[in-house]
Amino acid sequence: MPAARQWHDSTPSRDARNPYSWLQAVHWVADSRAYEPQRKHGPRFGATTVRIAQLLAELTPCRPGVDHLARSAGVSERTVQYHLEMLREVGLLAYLSKGTRLRGGIGRASEFVRTIPPAFDAALGVRTVGAGIGRRVVGVAGQGRGRLAALARKAARTRRGKAKRRRSTGRGCTPMGVTTSGSSAEVPIGVPSENELAGGASTPTSPTTGTNAAPQPRKPLNRVGRRYQLAAQVARQLPWLGRAAVPRIAWILRHVADAGFSCEEVLAVVGLEAPARHVRRPSGFLAHRLVGAHRLYDTAAKREALVSWWRDSRQAERDRHAAWEASWGIPADRAVADLVAGVRARLAVGGKAAADAQEIPAAEVEDLAAEEVAELRAAAWTEFLSGRTALVSGTVQGLGRAAAERVYGAELVARVTRFAALNRAREAVRP
């Protein structure tokens, strides 16, 4: 059943009036083996699906949490998602509302309606009246009654839980060197006295604890663990990945993680292109930057050369930031320098009071020709987009922010100010 028909208002199935009838349909699908999942991997419809369906039959309303089903059935959350997908595809479940997953907030589970597919009615001769999901059963053909009775016996079976381990009623084993009748001269029992604690004497109360105990080796990470580890490291290094989910980042980094990339090598690949001004979809942006990276840099030597280039480019970036934050100088372009000199001469006519307050009356700025203002703004925008802010920064330092906004516009001046503040913050935290 396609995804568009897996909703309450579009499904061809009928509503199951009670969980008992619904479990009959679940057992029929499991016994008939007429359903094959659309995907080519993962589990198939079988005993685990029936066990999860029995858990769903106990819920009112049917709003299961994936983690709850995984704990109750003793399987992983991904396995539960596979079986819920199969129940929807076969027509046994339909969405009433789809859950949400917000990072940092409380997620809401999806709510389902238990339904019976039309194939079940056709195979067992169940007669219904009405239309849509609200169809009602009015009778059963003779050849289907025996099969319904057998399915009813299966649906009536109770789900067996895990057997609890019984504790032995006898006394436990006595540790070596310890007797049950009194204290031992070799191994003390109970808490040491205050005199021993004050004197610094300490004797282990258990023969298994001590400094000679060998430390347990840490279990090495498998492929999935390595992906999650790399995803967490990359998310800490890239600020624009702050709101992206770590499992999604791990899925994007699966190829480079399996190829043996380190966090620094991933950052070098991301830094091959110019940084984006706005990142609206961090995970999609990261996936675009890493397309084919595991095939292009398939050896350690290639990745080492890439990291060396990336470090050099970061050093060059620091040098450019230092040049941007330096005192303003005359533009190299002669035409732009003449325009700046003319603007400064006209704006300086306001008098000493206006110069001290760094406020230029609007009437004096209006004396500039429209062509000159347009040319100045175009030159300033071109300079800003190329990574240089000397023209706007010099005007702000020399004539004040108000005058710079009247000439270049408030938007450009605000961007230049934020850009300079960001560069100063980076230099402050850089070791």
Q: How many C-beta atoms surround the C-beta of residue 263 within 10 A?
A: 18
Does residue 198 lie in a domain region? no
Asked whether residue 359 falls in the same domain as residue 401, the answer is yes
Q: What are the residues whose beta carbons fall under 8 Å from the beta carbon of 204, sequence distance 6 or more?
A: 210
Between strands 126-129 and 14-15, the pairing is unpaired
Q: Which residue pairs from 391-396 have beta carbons closer than 8 angstroms and sit at least 24 positions apart in sequence?
A: 391/331, 391/336, 391/340, 392/416, 393/324, 393/328, 393/420, 394/328, 394/329, 394/340, 395/340, 395/343, 395/344
The reported pLDDT for the residue numbered 181 is: 46
| Token reading at 111 | 């709510």
Please check whether residue 105 is in contact with residue 94, taking contact to mean a CB–CB distance below 8 angstroms. Answer: no
The reported pLDDT for the residue numbered 262 is: 92
Asked whether residue 353 falls in the same domain as residue 404, the answer is yes
Q: Identify the CA nearest to 118 among candidates 232, 1, 268.
A: 1
Does residue 325 lie in a domain region? no
Which residue among 140, 155, 170 closes a domain?
Answer: 155
Q: Identify the CA nearest to 319 among candidates 379, 269, 388, 267.
A: 388
Please check whether residue 324 is in contact with residue 388, taking contact to mean a CB–CB distance below 8 angstroms. Answer: yes
Asked whether residue 98 falls in the same domain as residue 138, the answer is yes
Asked whether residue 10 falls in the same domain as residue 128, the answer is yes
Q: What are the residues whose beta carbons fall under 8 Å from the beta carbon of 234, sequence distance 6 or more?
A: 241, 249, 253, 263, 266, 267, 286
Does residue 307 lie in a domain region? yes
* Whole-prediction pTM: 0.40
The reported pLDDT for the residue numbered 353 is: 40
Per-residue pLDDT 10s for the chain (431 aa) are: 788 888 888 899 999 888 888 999 999 898 888 788 888 888 888 899 999 999 999 888 888 888 889 998 899 999 999 999 999 999 999 988 888 766 656 678 888 999 999 988 888 888 888 888 888 888 888 777 888 888 888 888 766 655 555 555 555 554 554 444 444 444 444 555 545 544 554 444 454 444 555 666 777 888 899 999 999 999 888 888 877 888 999 999 999 999 999 998 998 888 887 666 677 888 888 999 899 889 888 899 988 888 888 887 764 465 445 444 444 555 555 666 666 666 666 656 544 444 443 344 444 555 667 777 777 888 888 777 777 787 888 778 777 788 788 888 888 888 888 888 777 766 655 54
Q: How many C-beta atoms surround the C-beta of residue 73 within 10 A?
A: 18
Asked whether residue 100 falls in the same domain as residue 242, the answer is no
The reported pLDDT for the residue numbered 326 is: 43
> CA 188 to CA 185: how far, in whole Å?
7
User: Which one-letter amino acid corresponds to residue 424?
Assistant: R
C-alpha triplet 27, 29, 33: angle, nearest 5°: 120
Asked whether residue 148 falls in the same domain as residue 115, the answer is yes
> CA 24 to CA 114: how far, in whole Å?
12
C-alpha triplet 144, 148, 150: angle, nearest 5°: 120
Q: How many domains does the chain have?
A: 3
The reported pLDDT for the residue numbered 167 is: 56
Q: What are the residues whose beta carbons fall under 8 Å from the beta carbon of 413, sequence distance 6 or more?
A: 392, 396, 401, 404, 405
> CA 79 to CA 89: how far, in whole Å?
15
| Token reading at 72 | 């109750």
Q: Domain residues for 342? A: 334-429
- SS3 of 103, please? coil
The reported pLDDT for the residue numbered 351 is: 44
> CA 310 to CA 304: how far, in whole Å?
10
Does residue 321 lie in a domain region? no
Token match 């009615």: residue?
121
Does residue 327 lie in a domain region? no
The reported pLDDT for the residue numbered 325 is: 45
Which residue among 109, 132, 155 closes a domain?
Answer: 155
Asked whether residue 283 falls in the same domain as residue 338, the answer is no
| Token reading at 322 | 């230092």
Q: How many C-beta atoms surround the C-beta of residue 241 within 10 A?
A: 21
Does residue 296 lie in a domain region? yes
DSSP 100: B
Token match 């980042």: residue?
249
Please check whether residue 403 is in contact with residue 365, taking contact to mean a CB–CB distance below 8 angstroms. Answer: yes
Q: Identify the CA nearest to 132 among candidates 12, 16, 7.
A: 12
The reported pLDDT for the residue numbered 354 is: 40
Describe the crossing of helices 282-289 and 263-270 by its angle, rounded to 10 degrees. 90
The reported pLDDT for the residue numbered 343 is: 65
> CA 405 to CA 327: how far, in whole Å?
20
Handedness of CA 315, 321, 327, 329 (dihedral sign): positive
Does residue 183 lie in a domain region? no
Which residue among 155, 181, 212 closes a domain?
Answer: 155
- State in Å, rounded, how far the first CA of the chain is from the last one: 58
Q: How many C-beta atoms surround the C-beta of residue 372 within 10 A?
A: 14
Q: What are the residues whose beta carbons fall under 8 Å from the beta carbon of 331, sequence distance 6 or more?
A: 337, 340, 390, 391
Q: Does residue 200 come out as left (phi exceeding 0), alpha (psi in the -120 to 50 range) or beta?
A: left
Does residue 120 lie in a domain region? yes
Q: How many C-beta atoms surround the C-beta of residue 52 within 10 A?
A: 24
Beta bridge partners of 20: none
